[in-house]
């Protein structure tokens, strides 16, 4: 309940900042030393928020479906791709983290390349992935691979830190019980890694959404919110509120994914706290 109130308060603050800047900002933007540091505050660049909301219930085209329904269907399409990419990326990240924790040589040899992989521009990588997998994978699977590529990194790094977080005394206690690596992993390291895992999963969910949207734009995959943003942006000069409806849908999609991870987190973290209390 408290988190929901924080989210609503954040949305209200952003709305006030938007409308406040539109009220006092210059229609030509704020320019310092020949560089525009603040955007234009005219209706073409920054439509009123209520104008964007009204556009959601108006037809996309004359006699067509409401824009809100079109955006919702596009978000559901992208959500399915995001879910596949998120699950694959999270699984790969978990396996890499376990392997790096188990073998120090793997950590030293692999971790730099895991970090280096995130320096490759996604806009340049997406067409390459589409070209490699275009003959063996459907377009949506190519986009899912791009989403997984962004999602695996925070999980791998966060989970590795969590698996390495138990104190040396706890590890020595497990050894005194003649517990092997697998039992130590299940009984000690995995429960200790949960506080590190779920923030990493939330970041991975947001990254998967970004990867799916950028992948749809780069590969030209139709049906998703990324393609819809491109299509609506062509009407930015005549119908600017329409562009913001697609952007609003993409933002809400990221919140839905993060919220789903949080709902999965709550029962596990409560169980973990209960186990700690009973143990103590």
Which range is least confidently modeled, 57-61, 92-96, 193-197? 57-61
Predicted TM-score (pTM) of the model is: 0.84
Question: For the chain, which residues make up each domain, given as ranges?
Answer: 1-44, 47-279
Q: Is the pLDDT of residue 279 over 50?
A: no
Instruction: Give the three-class secondary structure for 55.
Output: helix
Average pLDDT over residues 180-208: 89
Q: In this predicted model, what pLDDT tens digit does every residue of 223-271 receive, in sequence order?
A: 889 888 888 888 877 888 888 898 888 888 988 888 888 887 776 666 5
DSSP-assigned states of every residue in 176-205 = HTT--HHHHIIIIIHHHHHHHHHHHHHHHH
Q: Is the pLDDT of residue 152 over 70?
A: yes
State how far Cα 165 lies from the chain centre. Answer: 25
In CATH terms, 47-279 corresponds, of 3.40.190.10, 3.40.50.720, 1.10.3720.10, 3.40.50.2020, to 1.10.3720.10
- By C-alpha distance, which of 190, 192, 203 is closest to 89? 203
Q: How far apart are CA 112 and CA 137, in angstroms?
A: 30
Asked if 226 and 78 touch (Cβ cutoff 8 Å), the reply is yes
Q: Is the pLDDT of residue 274 over 60?
A: no
From first CA to last CA, the distance across the chain in angstroms is 29
């Amino acid at each position: 309940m408290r988190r929901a109130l924080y989210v609503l308060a954040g949305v209200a603050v952003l709305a006030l900042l938007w409308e406040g800047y539109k009220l006092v900002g210059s229609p030509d933007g704020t320019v310092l030393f020949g560089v525009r540091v603040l955007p234009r505050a005219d209706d073409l660049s920054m439509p009123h928020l209520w104008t964007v909301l009204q556009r959601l219930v108006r037809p996309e085209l004359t006699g067509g479906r409401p824009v809100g329904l079109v955006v919702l269907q596009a978000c559901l399409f992208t959500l399915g791709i995001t879910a596949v990419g998120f699950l694959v990326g999270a699984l790969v990240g978990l396996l890499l983290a376990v392997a790096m924790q188990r073998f120090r040589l793997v950590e030293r040899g692999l971790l730099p390349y895991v970090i280096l992989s995130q320096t490759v521009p996604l806009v340049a990588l997406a067409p390459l992935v589409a070209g490699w997998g275009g003959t063996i994978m459907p377009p949506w699977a190519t986009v899912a691979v791009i989403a997984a590529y962004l999602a695996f990194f925070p999980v791998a790094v966060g989970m590795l830190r969590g698996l390495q977080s138990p104190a040396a005394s706890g590890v020595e206690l497990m050894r005194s019980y003649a517990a092997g690596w697998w039992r130590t992993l299940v009984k000690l390291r995995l429960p200790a890694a949960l506080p590190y895992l779920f923030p990493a999963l939330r970041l991975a969910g947001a990254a998967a959404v970004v990867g799916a949207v950028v992948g749809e734009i780069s590969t030209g995959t139709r049906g998703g919110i990324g393609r819809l943003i491109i299509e609506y942006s062509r009407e930015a000069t005549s119908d600017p509120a329409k562009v913001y409806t697609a952007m609003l849908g993409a933002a809400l999609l990221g919140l839905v994914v993060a919220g789903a991870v949080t709902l999965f987190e709550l029962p596990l973290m409560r169980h973990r706290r209960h186990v700690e209390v009973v143990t103590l």
